[in-house]
Amino acid sequence: MPQHSIGDIRRFVGNGIRLLMERAVPDGAENPLFDEAFATFRQYYMQHSLDTTRPYEDIPEVLQTLSRRGYHLAVVSNKFMPATQELVRHFFPEIKVAIGEHEAEGIRKKPAPDTVHEALRQLGIGKEHAVYIGDSDVDIETAHNAGLPCVSVLWGFRDRDFLLHHGATTFINRPEELLA
């Protein structure tokens, strides 16, 4: 398989693991080696997802404060479900609901609203009491599809111009702004 630049990888990421692999492997899912490459990636990622992953600065403290204040917190990700749950348990133990990409019947991945609706169901709250916080175009679309307001963060994966181009309307510059 060819090597890709960091810029290429940044463009590949954000729409789930399968699409990442379809973008990275020449001819995507049509490549005769795709299934093997996908299985290898999945196995490697499950064994090494904690190797270089780190929370953004100040996020653990902000989430702890929000949890102490009584806010219900969830993570909805397009990472594999087991990896999402492992990462959340490891870095954010105060978060009890973590939903990733999985094969459950009737649960579509982001930008479909299904995982958000499932997170709200598990939290026991309605969307009128929720806000979606994210750093990508997929997050903006997911929030819209779920009927939630979206706060786009400017320390994340995409920059302000990209987010504006994809419909972002509310921004924060630092995690501490979530506490205001």
DSSP 179: G
Instruction: State how far the Cα of 105 lies from the Cα of 24, in Å rounded to an integer.
Output: 27
- Beta strands across the sheet bearing 132-134: 132-134, 150-153, 171-172
- For residues 80 and 99, the answer to whether their CB atoms sit within 8 Å is no
Q: Which two tokens stand for residue 71?
A: 């806010």
Q: What's the pLDDT band for 173 if we cut at 50, 70, 90? A: very high
Per-residue pLDDT tens for 3-33? 999 888 888 887 778 888 999 999 999 999 9
Per-residue pLDDT tens for 68-92? 999 999 999 988 888 899 999 999 9
Q: What's the pLDDT band for 110 if we cut at 50, 70, 90? A: confident
The per-residue pLDDT for 104 is 65
- Per-residue burial over 26-43, b if 16 or more Cβ lie within 10 Å, else e, is eeeeebeebeeebeebbe
**Average pLDDT rounded to a whole number, residues 30-44:** 94
Q: State if pTM tops 0.75.
A: yes
Task: Say which residue the tokens 């169901």 belong to.
Answer: 121
Instruction: State how far the Cα of 94 lies from the Cα of 60, in Å rounded to an integer.
Output: 9
